[in-house]
Amino acid sequence: DVVMTQTPPSLSVAIGQSVSISCKSSQSLVYSDGKTYLHWLLQSPGRSPKRLIYQVSNLGSGVPDRFSGTGSQKDFTLKISRVEAEDLGVYYCAQTTHFPFTFGSGTKLEIK
Amino acid sequence: EVQLVESGGGLVQPGRSLKLSCLASGFTFSNYGMNWIRQAPGKGLEWVASISSSSSYIYYADTVKGRFTISRDNAKNTLYLQMTSLRSEDTALYYCARGIRMVDAWGQGASVTVSS
């Protein structure tokens, strides 16, 4: 199984600051079609997960451009610029290249 | 608007069975692969099973293989998860989610508690 190592486990940030979350996979996430199925999700408190970024760097529908994703092969990063109060919650990376699909352990973002 | 509404959760004794349903609306259900993904209380996300749009391809996590069965009825726009031989470690919120490589929508979840 692909192990997704996500760091840090938690972050405390002031409104307006920027943060980055790292996600490293134990295998390359490049699929046979040449695409990389690495995604970022946000689970706001008491809510279902919501897709933020798909295929490394593509913004999901309605997601503000303060969110950005970069990376390739086995090393990926989510950056949030100018954090807002609504950004609090748990962020997960997820890979859907290889079965079984696997998730990072999550990064809890708190607002100072 | 894409909607996924799970139902069928509840409290069940170890070793018993339960069947979850996910009613889809707002999109052409038969065009999409679907998944079940679960989240134990206070824990992270765990993929459970996936099924292709025509049910030709089905995949399971090792933790549920042989006990859970994913299926779908495209005429009823409904995804199912039949769970048998339930264990305490199956206690979780079960989400249905649209898309296989591109999971882009989630339901609100159905709660399953396995306890005597």
Q: How would DSSP label each residue in chain B?
A: --EEEEE--EEE-TT--EEEEEEEESS-GGGS-EEEEEE-TT--EEEEEEE-TTS--EEE-TTTTTTEEEEEETTTTEEEEEE-S--GGG-EEEEEEE-SSS--EE---EEEEE--
Query: Which tokens hold the place of B12?
Result: 């069940």
Phi and psi at residue B89, to the nearest 5°: -75, -5
Query: Which tokens hold the place of B13?
Result: 């004794």
Q: What is the pLDDT of residues B83-114, one digit of tens each?
A: 999 999 999 999 999 999 889 999 999 999 99
Spatial separation of the C-alpha atoms in residues B109 and B76, rounded to whole Å: 19
Per-residue confidence band for A41, with pLDDT thresholds at 50, 70 and 90: very high
Determine if the peptide bond prior to A49 is cis (ω within 30°): no
* Average pLDDT score, chain B: 98
State the DSSP code for B28. Answer: -
Q: Quick count: other Cβ atoms within 10 Å of Cβ A57? A: 16
pLDDT for res A62: 95
d(CA A102, nearest CA chain B) in Å: 7
Per-residue confidence band for B115, with pLDDT thresholds at 50, 70 and 90: very high
Is the CB of residue B35 less than 8 Å from the CB of residue B47?
Answer: yes
Spatial separation of the C-alpha atoms in residues A40 and A24, rounded to whole Å: 12
Beta bridge partners of B74: none
Q: Which residues of A touch B101 (CB under 8 A)?
A: 31, 35, 37, 96-97
Q: Which residues of B touch A92 (CB under 8 A)?
A: 44-45
Are A103 and B61 inside 8 Å of each other by CB? no
Instruction: Say if A29 is an interface residue toward chain B (CB within 8 Å).
Output: no
Q: Which residues of B touch A101 (CB under 8 A)?
A: 35, 47, 50
Spatial separation of the C-alpha atoms in residues B65 and B47, rounded to whole Å: 12
Query: Which tokens hold the place of B84?
Result: 């048998």
Q: Which residues of A touch B35 (CB under 8 A)?
A: 101
Ramachandran region, residue A55 (left: φ > 0; alpha: ψ -120 to 50; beta: rest)? left
Spatial separation of the C-alpha atoms in residues B7 and A102, rounded to whole Å: 24
SS3 A71: strand
pLDDT for res B110: 98
Q: What is the pLDDT of residues A54-105, one digit of tens each?
A: 999 999 999 999 999 999 999 999 999 999 999 999 999 999 999 999 999 9
Is the CB of residue A100 less than 8 Å from the CB of residue B59?
Answer: yes
Per-residue confidence band for A4, with pLDDT thresholds at 50, 70 and 90: very high
From B64, which residue of chain A is nearest by alpha-carbon distance? A100
